[in-house]
A and B are shown apart, each in its own frame.
Chain A
Amino acid sequence: MPGPARIAQGLLTDASSSVGFRFDGRMLRGLAGDTLASALLANGVRLVGRSFKYHRPRGIVTAGPEEPCALVDVLGPRGREPNRPATTLALHEGLVAESQNRWPSLTFDVLAFNDLLGRFLPAGFYYKTFMAPGWAWERVYEPLIRRAAGLGRLEPIVPAHADPAETVHDHADVLVVGAGAAGLAAADHLGACGLRVILAEQDVVAGGGTLLDERWRSWRERLCAALAARPAVRTLTGTTVLGAYGHGVFGALEVLPGAAAARFGVRERLRVIRARRTLLATGALERLIAFPGNDLPGVMLAGAALAYLRRYGVAAGRRPAFFLNNDEAYESVFALTAAGIECAGVIDPRSSSRAAERTRTLGIPMHVGAVVGGVAGRREVRAVSIDELDGRRRFMLATDTLLVSGGHTPATALASQLGATLEWQGSLAAFTPDLASGAGRVAGAAHGVFGLAAAARDGAAVARALAADLGRGADASDIPEPPPDSAVTPLRELWEVRAPGKPGKAFVDLQNDVTAADVRLACREGYEHLEHMKRFTTHGMATDQGRIAGLLGSAVLAEARGVPLSEVGVLRPRPFAQPVPFAALAGGEVREHYRPKRRLPLHDWHESAGATFVSTGLWLRPLVYSRQGGWPAVLDEARAVRERVGITDVSTLGKIDVQGADAARFLDFIYANTFATLPVGRSRYGIMLREDGMAFDDGTTSRLGPQHFLVTTTTANSVAVLEHMEFHLQSVFPELDVLLTDVGDQWAQFAIAGPNAREVVSAVVSGIDLGTAAFPFMSAGAATIAGAPGRIFRISFSGELAYEVAVPAKQALPAWSALLAAGERFGIRAYGLDALNTLRIEKGHLTTAELNGNTTAGDLGLQRLIKKQGDFVGRTLAQRPGLTAPERLQLVGIRPVERTRRLRNGMQLVAPQAREASLGYVTSSTPSVEFDGWVGLALLSGGRERHGQRLIGLSPLHNEATEVQVLSPHMLDPENNRVRA
């Protein structure tokens, strides 16, 4: 079998399938089914990393996702991925992993001298030392600290993108978290009651603690088979529930095994689970004991050694010693002995226990009433010091491995997030959650019921109660009788072995290098509250969230404060339960799928006509019909409109159909101007305010019938305007007879503008007289357009004679093609958003650059539209002194005095003699087709009184200062002769 430490057949490994991998450049071999950690242990690799702060040598401590030390960088085809726990990283052929935080090599690390300086680098050292001079923090201290501290190396892999992931939404009656003895029994019972169950298990296989006990094999296999036969029960292995988000919503991360990942083309799935009830069977985690040298490679949790033996057939050491304070942990002594491993001895602070008696009968040296007071060895354990409880040394015991258990801590993170209070259980030396039954229930070791058989019974009992909550009583499940639990002697509470005067650090947080002494220092410095101590020392702030030793920090703090541990409490766990790759959170919403796209009905035509598209909101709009950048193509299009005729797609405008007996009254309340007086067949420009008095949106509204209006909004505000209208209709005027319908997607709309517009439109439209007498400026009506029923409006955004025609979206292409054909003899041009912008700036029309939320109707020169009589949204607050002050920024037009100079959006306008004080800024600018050089719109303090003045336009970014002339924003055809032609 590959690896000298592989001594047995593992439950998960396939002895016939050898897998090659590379660790720090060394070629090694493991088995299919191994994790990187088990394969390293099988090869006798004990030193796997250097620690965060002191660069101390570190090994593998656990066999699961709670691992604090064995984090590695994985080098894949897409780049380097840091901080993957070796204990959950599935081994595969060709895996390349590197240890972290060492230079130049793992065995010889230059910065390890930090460890010798350790007494000068206590908690809070950075805060106190790197204070002055102030400039040095950014330039000297921070870069140095960043290089010295930290774990994996982060490299940008965004351009190539990380492995793809997807998001899946799940629904269930009950989410059962954890598929150990309690979770399996509970899921089976709930499934038998006919409930839809999702059973989420973070491990790659279901079973939890039953996987480590051969007697449980048949029970587990029967239950798993029973669950597989229930279609309403889904078991998701490799799925960690990351957090509880209230109202039965949970986030979970599913890591797909290699074959499934290849099949589905994704490495991870983010599952959003919505469940009516939750059953938490999350089990308990073994915890460490703080003693000097408890971080040396070779120190491992006792349960982890049992897991490596049972799951992978790997012995964690050649001649291990044990330091245990509870009977449950003795299972690993018995299992390793049975596998033929010679145990150096067992150290137990208790004077006697059932498990200790059994150990003696196996001929293993038993040291009761003793503790481990220190560990000898530089890069791995060579011997441990066996001390009396009062600290006197008995003797040194030679061993290569120390397997530790300080008891078991229920995994309460999810319960806490659901609002559980924690209660201290003296008999377990642990907190158990008390969860209101409405949010969910807790079963098994997660609420302190230890022992597999007890947990299985508890799981079934809690499931019965939960099914009753949901109105299901029938107990149809047939759970086999579990093997009995062994009787146990209670544990002896032991958190720290204090060895005053002896060298060595006793760690309470292995990942962030926090020692028991650091916790005491925090307490002395006044950080007595647990959450303050956490922030001062960084205890529990690493990615493992202090799962194996978090309670140790609380216990050390409690002792330092002289209060019971129950009074100190535990750190509040937050989502996520484990580190989550950003790629998994992003799922499929990356790159071109980052957000949905809205395409115009004529998108394909625009594309084939060579359009460059621009994203406005979700819309893709043609910017210019040219793939080359620059102004010439834009100005060609704009010139066609001014001189001949052009056509543009304005389908993105918001269109809201307003019908009902009170439609006019409602619009008069929503808009600052009057619509009740608008005759049928006419359109009117309207301005809408927010309740605080600022301008919100503008657009034309047409009266199609006595009780029928069509409102158009700006593209950007189409959703917000409908919301604004619905809110006021339903909250302020629920009694009005008005119905609002969003018809934005139903109609395609085109503007045909230019001196020849009437000839072009007339050729395509029938059933309506387009002569100026019959259909003057601001008319609206129904018409047949290229054979389809549509609408026609005589409105203009360009300042030219113009019509807008609307046809059902499906008729877009025939209507557009007919208009183009009719315009061919006039040299019609399709024009894009840039040309549209050039045309409207020359005319002084507004877009969201001016309707920017900071302007009032008065600022925009629309004060004459505002009605004097009647209530409307924003009426009262628009009259506030600050919103009517004469020095407010008002809309003006500007042109450079020297016509060859350009304008820029965002240029600040200043007086020539006072360049420090901004008088306003440029909102929109364009080279002009009507005038010589550039024109722009600006918001200028007291602008209406400044027409004719000369100011300076400053753009410090471009080092430009341009003399500009202020004029009316209506630069083109102020008398509106063209639009009325």
Chain B
Amino acid sequence: MLRIACPWCGERDETEFRYRGDASRRRPEADAAQDTFSAYVYERDNCCDWHTEWWLHVGGCRKLLKIVRHTLTHEIRSVSGAEAPDSPVRQADP
């Protein structure tokens, strides 16, 4: 079970959150080709590495968090709010 340190609510069980997928993806511009949208919706890497992903705190503050998690060890390196995507608000408790 993941324990996620929400920057607004504190450390909580993963069951309070909803996984929303790869956070390195950006929604294509409105005029992008169908193939580009298709790749955005369907194509995912299955990496064994650090993975940046969205988690929505549905059972708490409803903030969308950007989490860097290792897909093998589940270690969480950082948790940050969506509006500050590149500056972690709070390091996860090691």
Q: Which residues of A are interface residues toward B (Cβ below 8 A)?
A: 245-249, 274, 276, 419, 438, 691-692, 719, 722-723, 726-727, 730-732, 734, 740, 870-871, 875-877, 879-880
Contact yes or no, A731 B82, CB < 8 A: yes
B20 contact set on A, CB distance < 8 A: 727, 731
In Å, the complex CA distance between A691 and B32 comes to 14
In Å, the complex CA distance between A871 and B29 comes to 9
With a 10 A CB-CB cut-off, give which of B37, B42, B54 has the most chain A CB atoms.
Answer: B37
What distance in Å separates the Cβ of B93 from its nearest Cβ neighbour in chain A? 8
Contact yes or no, B3 A730, CB < 8 A: no
Nearest B-chain residue to A735, judged by Cβ: B83
Nearest B-chain residue to A419, judged by Cβ: B73
Nearest A-chain residue to B14, judged by Cβ: A247
Nearest B-chain residue to A250, judged by Cβ: B1
A870 contact set on B, CB distance < 8 A: 30
Nearest A-chain residue to B36, judged by Cβ: A876
Contact yes or no, A726 B1, CB < 8 A: no
What distance in Å separates the Cβ of B88 from its nearest Cβ neighbour in chain A? 17
A871 contact set on B, CB distance < 8 A: 30
Choose from A246, A247, A692, A730 the contact partner of B64 (Cβ within 8 Å): A730
Contact yes or no, B1 A246, CB < 8 A: yes
In Å, the complex CA distance between A258 and B94 comes to 41
Total A-B pairs, Cβ < 8 A: 62
Q: Bin the interface of chain B by size.
A: 20 to 34
B46 part of interface (Cβ distance < 8 Å):
no
Contact yes or no, B1 A247, CB < 8 A: yes
In Å, the complex CA distance between A939 and B77 comes to 49
What distance in Å separates the Cβ of A353 from its nearest Cβ neighbour in chain B? 44
Contact yes or no, B27 A730, CB < 8 A: no
A876-B3 contact given A246-B74, A727-B54, A734-B82, CB 8 Å threshold: no
Contact yes or no, A730 B83, CB < 8 A: yes
- In the assembled complex, 7 residue pairs joining A and B whose CB atoms fall closer than 8 Å, in A order, are A691-B27, A691-B40, A723-B56, A726-B64, A727-B20, A875-B30, A876-B34
What distance in Å separates the Cβ of A729 from its nearest Cβ neighbour in chain B? 8
What distance in Å separates the Cβ of A696 from its nearest Cβ neighbour in chain B? 13
Contact yes or no, A726 B27, CB < 8 A: no
Contact yes or no, A877 B37, CB < 8 A: yes
In Å, the complex CA distance between A622 and B9 comes to 37
B41 contact set on A, CB distance < 8 A: 691-692, 877
Contact yes or no, A274 B18, CB < 8 A: no
Contact yes or no, B3 A248, CB < 8 A: yes
Nearest A-chain residue to B30, judged by Cβ: A871
A691 contact set on B, CB distance < 8 A: 27, 37, 40-41
A880 contact set on B, CB distance < 8 A: 34
What distance in Å separates the Cβ of B45 from its nearest Cβ neighbour in chain A? 19
In Å, the complex CA distance between A871 and B30 comes to 6
Bitwise interface map of B from 51 to 86 toward A, beta carbon under 8 Å scored 1, else 0 = 000101010001110000000011010000011000
With a 10 A CB-CB cut-off, give which of A249, A419, A740 has the most chain B CB atoms.
Answer: A249
A723-B58 contact given A246-B2, A438-B94, A876-B32, CB 8 Å threshold: yes
What distance in Å separates the Cβ of B23 from its nearest Cβ neighbour in chain A? 8
Nearest A-chain residue to B62, judged by Cβ: A726
Nearest B-chain residue to A248, judged by Cβ: B3
A722 contact set on B, CB distance < 8 A: 62
Contact yes or no, B38 A877, CB < 8 A: yes
B40 contact set on A, CB distance < 8 A: 691
Contact yes or no, B27 A732, CB < 8 A: yes
B13 contact set on A, CB distance < 8 A: 249
A734-B83 contact given A249-B3, A727-B20, A871-B30, CB 8 Å threshold: yes
Nearest B-chain residue to A438, judged by Cβ: B94
What distance in Å separates the Cβ of B64 from its nearest Cβ neighbour in chain A? 4
Contact yes or no, A730 B82, CB < 8 A: yes
Contact yes or no, B82 A723, CB < 8 A: no
Contact yes or no, B37 A731, CB < 8 A: no
B93 contact set on A, CB distance < 8 A: 276
What distance in Å separates the Cβ of A821 from its nearest Cβ neighbour in chain B? 40
In Å, the complex CA distance between A875 and B41 comes to 13
Nearest B-chain residue to A877, judged by Cβ: B37
A274 contact set on B, CB distance < 8 A: 3
Contact yes or no, B64 A731, CB < 8 A: yes
A740 contact set on B, CB distance < 8 A: 62
With a 10 A CB-CB cut-off, give which of A249, A727, A731, A879 has the most chain B CB atoms.
Answer: A731
In Å, the complex CA distance between A730 and B64 comes to 6
Nearest B-chain residue to A879, judged by Cβ: B34
Bitwise interface map of B from 3 to 41 toward A, beta carbon under 8 Å scored 1, else 0 = 100000000010000101001000110101010011011
* Apart from the given pairs A249-B1, A419-B73, A734-B83, 19 other A-B contacts in the complex at a CB distance below 8 Å: A246-B1, A246-B2, A247-B2, A247-B74, A691-B37, A723-B58, A726-B56, A726-B62, A727-B20, A727-B54, A727-B56, A730-B83, A731-B27, A731-B64, A732-B27, A740-B62, A876-B32, A877-B38, A879-B34
In Å, the complex CA distance between A893 and B38 comes to 34
What distance in Å separates the Cβ of A174 from its nearest Cβ neighbour in chain B? 15
What distance in Å separates the Cβ of A978 from its nearest Cβ neighbour in chain B? 40
What distance in Å separates the Cβ of B37 from its nearest Cβ neighbour in chain A? 4
With a 10 A CB-CB cut-off, give which of A247, A276, A722, A875 has the most chain B CB atoms.
Answer: A247
Nearest A-chain residue to B18, judged by Cβ: A723
In Å, the complex CA distance between A275 and B45 comes to 33
Contact yes or no, B64 A877, CB < 8 A: no
Nearest B-chain residue to A247, judged by Cβ: B3
A876-B37 contact given A246-B2, A247-B2, A871-B30, CB 8 Å threshold: yes
A719 contact set on B, CB distance < 8 A: 58
A734 contact set on B, CB distance < 8 A: 82-83
What distance in Å separates the Cβ of A385 from its nearest Cβ neighbour in chain B? 51
In Å, the complex CA distance between A722 and B18 comes to 12
In Å, the complex CA distance between A573 and B2 comes to 21
**Which 4 pairs from chain A and chain B are nearest by CB?**
A871-B30, A730-B64, A247-B3, A249-B1
What distance in Å separates the Cβ of B32 from its nearest Cβ neighbour in chain A? 7
In Å, the complex CA distance between A876 and B27 comes to 12
Contact yes or no, A731 B54, CB < 8 A: yes
What distance in Å separates the Cβ of A403 from its nearest Cβ neighbour in chain B? 43
Choose from B3, B30, B34, B94 the contact partner of A877 (Cβ within 8 Å): B34
A731 contact set on B, CB distance < 8 A: 20, 23, 27, 54, 64, 82
B56 contact set on A, CB distance < 8 A: 723, 726-727
In Å, the complex CA distance between A799 and B85 comes to 48
A723 contact set on B, CB distance < 8 A: 18, 56, 58
What distance in Å separates the Cβ of B8 from its nearest Cβ neighbour in chain A? 13
What distance in Å separates the Cβ of A549 from its nearest Cβ neighbour in chain B? 32
Nearest B-chain residue to A742, judged by Cβ: B62
B3 contact set on A, CB distance < 8 A: 247-249, 274
What distance in Å separates the Cβ of B50 from its nearest Cβ neighbour in chain A? 16
In Å, the complex CA distance between A888 and B68 comes to 42
In Å, the complex CA distance between A740 and B18 comes to 17
B32 contact set on A, CB distance < 8 A: 876
In Å, the complex CA distance between A246 and B73 comes to 9
In Å, the complex CA distance between A710 and B56 comes to 23
In Å, the complex CA distance between A875 and B13 comes to 36
In Å, the complex CA distance between A876 and B28 comes to 10
In Å, the complex CA distance between A438 and B27 comes to 37
In Å, the complex CA distance between A692 and B37 comes to 9
A732 contact set on B, CB distance < 8 A: 27
What distance in Å separates the Cβ of A609 from its nearest Cβ neighbour in chain B? 34
What distance in Å separates the Cβ of A431 from its nearest Cβ neighbour in chain B? 22
With a 10 A CB-CB cut-off, give which of B1, B13, B42, B54 has the most chain A CB atoms.
Answer: B1
Nearest B-chain residue to A169, judged by Cβ: B13
In Å, the complex CA distance between A732 and B85 comes to 12
In Å, the complex CA distance between A894 and B18 comes to 40
In Å, the complex CA distance between A175 and B37 comes to 48
